[in-house]
Structure 1
C-alpha cells in the first residue's frame, strides 16, 4: 500500500498504521497458523483499531470466529462496515472493551485465544495489568494470549532502529509513548496467574510473546 514509511501517527485509521499493519501481517499469520486451534473456536482481539488484522486473519481460518474489540467506540462502526464489505461470515460484531475498565470486559464468555498487536508502544505500560487480568478471567483452558510488537528485550534495545524509534515516540510528548520492556509484561503476567510460554523473534526486530496460565 505504501512503498515508504509514512510519518509516525498511531491513530488507528492513519496511513502509518495501515503501512505498519501490512508490513507485519504475513509474518504474524505464519505464527498463528502454528498455534491457533484447528477445531471450531473463538478468538478475541484486543485493540482492533481499524480492523485490518482481524479481517486479514479471518479469511485464513474459516473454522474460527474472530471477535474484534476496541476501547474507542467511534472505531466500531468502521470495523463493522469493513466486515460487511469483506463478506466474511466469521467476524463477530465489534465490541467496546477497555482494558482499564473491568466493567467493559466480557462476562460469561470464554475465548480459546486472544491477541493484541502493535499497541504497547503507544499505550501506558499500566494496561498490561488489565490485559493480563482480563485474559486470566476469560481464557479457555489450554488457551493463550499472543502479544506482538517492538519491545525492549530485558532492558536493552535490539537494534539501532528501535532505539531511534523510542526517541521518536518520546519526543512526540504523548503520555505512555515509548518502547516497553518484555520484563514489565512478564511481571504483570505473574501478578495475574499468567506466564510467558514462548518468545519469538520476528522481522523488523519485533517480538511475538505467547502467554498462558501459570
Structure 2
C-alpha cells in the first residue's frame, strides 16, 4: 500500500473508506453496466455505508430503482444527503438491514423482489459467518432469476492470488481484530450451497479484487 493511503479504518465515513471507494467505483460500474437489467427493476445494496457507491452508480441507470441498506442507522443521513446533493431521484430511503438479525429482513413480496443485490468490500472486515446470513437473506429477497454481486479481495482455495493481497491480509490481521482478513471464496460457495445459491461467475477486477456473481440454483 502506498504512502498516500490513509490509515486503515473500516468506519464507513472514514477517509480510508472514501479513498478505497474512489479507487474501485469505476471498475465496479463497468461490471454493473454489463450485468444490470435493461428493464425497470429494483436493486438492493447491502452494507451501503456512507452511500458513496449507490449514489455514484444510480445516475447511470435511471430506469432502475436503488435501495440502500445498512445495519448502522448512523450512516442514513449521509446516504440521504448525497442523494439530495447529486439529484438522485431513483434512490429510495435507506432501510435498516442487519444480516445477523433475520427480523430485519423485510418481506418484499413476489412482485417486489429484487432483481439484483450487491455488496462491496465487507468481507475483509466482517466474520466469514456473515456469509451464511448473506446467502440466506439474498435467497429470500432475490427474484428467481436475480443475482447477488459481492466485490472485494479474496483468497482462492486457501491461497492468496498475489503478494499484495497477502500483504493486505497481514495488515488487516495486525490490527488485532479476530475477524479481519481476506476470506476464502470456497467458504462463500459453501454458504451459498446451503441456501440454494451457487457461484455463477468470477470476474477478475483491478487491484487484485474480484466480482463474484451468485444466483439461485
Query: Are positions 1:45 and 2:45 aligned together?
Result: yes
Q: Which residue in the other structure is 1:203 paired with? A: 206
Q: Which residue in the other structure is 1:7 paired with? A: 7
> For 1:119-144, what per-residue CA distance to the aligned partner results, in whole angstroms no more than 9, with x for missing partners?
00000001100100000011012110
Does the residue aligned with 2:147 lie in a helix, a strand or coil?
Answer: strand
1:105 and 1:82 map into 2 onto residues whose CA distance is: 25
Query: Are positions 1:151 and 2:154 aligned together?
Result: yes
Q: Which residue in the other structure is 1:27 paired with? A: 27
Does the residue aligned with 2:138 lie in a helix, a strand or coil?
Answer: helix
Which of these residues, 112, 115, 118, is aligned with residue 118 of structure 2? 115
1:82 and 1:11 map into 2 onto residues whose CA distance is: 17
2:136 and 2:64 map into 1 onto residues whose CA distance is: 24
Q: Which residue in the other structure is 1:169 paired with? A: 172
**TM-score of the aligned structures, taking structure 2 as reference length:** 0.95
Deviation (angstroms), 1:86: 1.4
Q: Which residue in the other structure is 1:62 paired with? A: 62
Q: How does 1:174-193 map to 2 (within 5 A)?
A: 174-193=177-196
> For 1:69-126, what per-residue CA distance to the aligned partner results, in whole angstroms no more than 9, with x for missing partners?
0000111122112211111100000011001100011213410000000000000001
Deviation (angstroms), 1:10: 1.0
Deviation (angstroms), 1:4: 2.2
Deviation (angstroms), 1:16: 0.7
> For 1:142-192, what per-residue CA distance to the aligned partner results, in whole angstroms no more than 9, with x for missing partners?
110000000001211011111111111111012310100000000000000
Q: Which residue in the other structure is 1:72 paired with? A: 72
1:151 and 1:137 map into 2 onto residues whose CA distance is: 25
RMSD: 1.0
Structure 2: which 5+ runs fail to align?
none
2:193 and 2:147 map into 1 onto residues whose CA distance is: 14
1:162 and 1:11 map into 2 onto residues whose CA distance is: 21
2:107 and 2:145 map into 1 onto residues whose CA distance is: 19
1:173 and 1:104 map into 2 onto residues whose CA distance is: 30
1:52 and 1:106 map into 2 onto residues whose CA distance is: 23
Does the residue aligned with 1:19 lie in a helix, a strand or coil?
Answer: helix
- How many residue pairs end up in the alignment? 212
1:146 and 1:55 map into 2 onto residues whose CA distance is: 17
Deviating 4+ runs (over 4 angstroms): none
